[in-house]
């Protein structure tokens, strides 16, 4: 067990770099500094969480990685040069963000449809993806007929149907109840272990980030910056047993302490609370 764990950690450290953010900053047109001097290396196969209080620029960082926004300083270095093809990125928003008029099937079809793939040609991939997120039988339902958790599953299926190399997730489970969130956490991990894509996961939940990730990057606010990084050296697969283990509790405490320090670092320098 121990040896396996070490081997896996080593492997993750040895994995080739997928993306390096070097001195990345973002100043909005209203003068607010959302991100300042961020250095971050994302390796192939990472499950990396960006953890921080609101206003720490974690969502901004995600949008920069997605190419939905451009940095005002610094560079994003995709595997040592050039930018990654958009086709290799899947994005899951905070809300399910589905087309309300389209069926579950057609919602998952959308990314393929935009690439000019016909419904019939896309069908096997869509059916398989829907099975992976446990939505078989709901192909013809429209979003309003689904629960919040099911909508999020559709959203994940849609992001994954193109088999992207990177999955970017912006607090995807924040609006869900705890039971649903645990379930989706498990399913997401299962998917990730099978396919070994890279995940960048934005969250403000310590527990979620520790449960899911092999790396937790803690961010601080005003200006948004990387505060510290934690390696979560627990082996996968992680399941309900891990969720209740002392190891998990210890790791959560550790991450929580770092997060508190990150929050205090802001409060100390900026005199919060009038």
Q: Does 274 bind another protein (CB under 8 A)?
A: no
Which position among 47, 78, 91, 105 is part of the footprint of another protein (CB under 8 A)? Answer: 91
| Burial environment of residue 237 by CB neighbours within 10 A (0 to 12, 13 to 18, 19 or more) | exposed
Q: Least Å distance between CB 137 and another protein?
A: 18
Q: Does 99 bind another protein (CB under 8 A)?
A: yes
Which residues 6+ apart lie within 8 Å of 208 measured at CB? 49, 173, 181, 185
Q: Does 231 bind another protein (CB under 8 A)?
A: no
> From residue 176, how far is each of 127, 173, 199 by CA, in Å?
25, 5, 20
> Binding string to another protein for residues 19 to 58, with x set by CB under 8 A, is what?
----------------------------------------
- Whether the CB-CB separation of 150 and 187 falls below 8 Å is answered with no
Which position among 16, 81, 82, 100 is part of the footprint of another protein (CB under 8 A)? Answer: 100
What is the rounded CA–CA span in Å between residue 165 and residue 16? Answer: 13
Q: Least Å distance between CB 72 and another protein?
A: 19
Q: Does 113 bind another protein (CB under 8 A)?
A: yes
Q: Does 121 bind another protein (CB under 8 A)?
A: no
Which position among 142, 174, 252, 267 is part of the footprint of another protein (CB under 8 A)? Answer: 142
Query: Closer CB to another protein, residue 149 or residue 164?
Result: 164
Which position among 25, 111, 149, 172 is part of the footprint of another protein (CB under 8 A)? Answer: 111
Stretch in the footprint of another protein (CB under 8 A) among 21-29, 99-107, 126-134, 252-260: 99-107
Which position among 8, 9, 73, 97 is part of the footprint of another protein (CB under 8 A)? Answer: 97
Q: Does 101 bind another protein (CB under 8 A)?
A: yes
Q: Least Å distance between CB 231 and another protein?
A: 30
Which position among 144, 178, 179, 271 is part of the footprint of another protein (CB under 8 A)? Answer: 144
Which position among 68, 131, 231, 260 is part of the footprint of another protein (CB under 8 A)? Answer: 68
Q: Least Å distance between CB 64 and another protein?
A: 13
- The residue ranges that bind another protein (CB under 8 A) are 66-68, 86-87, 89, 91, 93, 95, 97, 99-102, 110-111, 113-115, 142-144, 162
């Amino acid at each position: 067990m121990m040896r396996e764990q070490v081997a896996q950690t080593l492997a993750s450290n040895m994995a080739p770099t997928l993306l390096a953010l070097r001195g990345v900053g973002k100043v909005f047109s209203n003068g607010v500094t959302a991100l300042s001097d961020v250095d971050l290396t994302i390796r192939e196969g990472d499950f990396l969480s960006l953890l921080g209080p609101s206003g720490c620029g974690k969502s901004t960082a995600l949008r920069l990685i997605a190419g939905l926004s451009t940095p005002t300083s610094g560079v994003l270095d995709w595997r040592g040069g050039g930018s990654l093809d958009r086709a290799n990125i899947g994005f899951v928003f905070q809300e399910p963000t589905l087309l309300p008029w389209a069926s579950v099937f057609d919602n998952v079809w959308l990314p393929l449809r935009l690439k000019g793939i016909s419904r019939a040609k896309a069908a096997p991939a869509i059916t398989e993806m829907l099975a992976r997120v446990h939505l078989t039988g709901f192909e013809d339902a429209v979003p309003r007929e689904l629960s919040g958790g099911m909508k999020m599953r559709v959203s994940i299926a849609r992001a994954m149907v193109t088999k992207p190399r990177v999955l970017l997730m912006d607090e995807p489970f924040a609006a869900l109840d705890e039971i649903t969130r645990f379930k989706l956490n498990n399913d997401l991990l299962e998917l990730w272990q099978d396919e070994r894509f890279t995940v960048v996961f934005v969250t403000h939940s310590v527990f979620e980030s520790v449960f899911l990730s092999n790396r937790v990057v803690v961010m601080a606010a005003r200006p948004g910056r990387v505060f510290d990084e934690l390696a979560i050296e627990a082996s996968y697969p992680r399941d309900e047993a891990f969720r209740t283990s002392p190891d998990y509790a210890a790791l959560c405490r550790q991450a929580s302490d770092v997060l508190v320090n990150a929050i205090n670092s802001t409060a100390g320098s900026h005199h919060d609370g009038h």
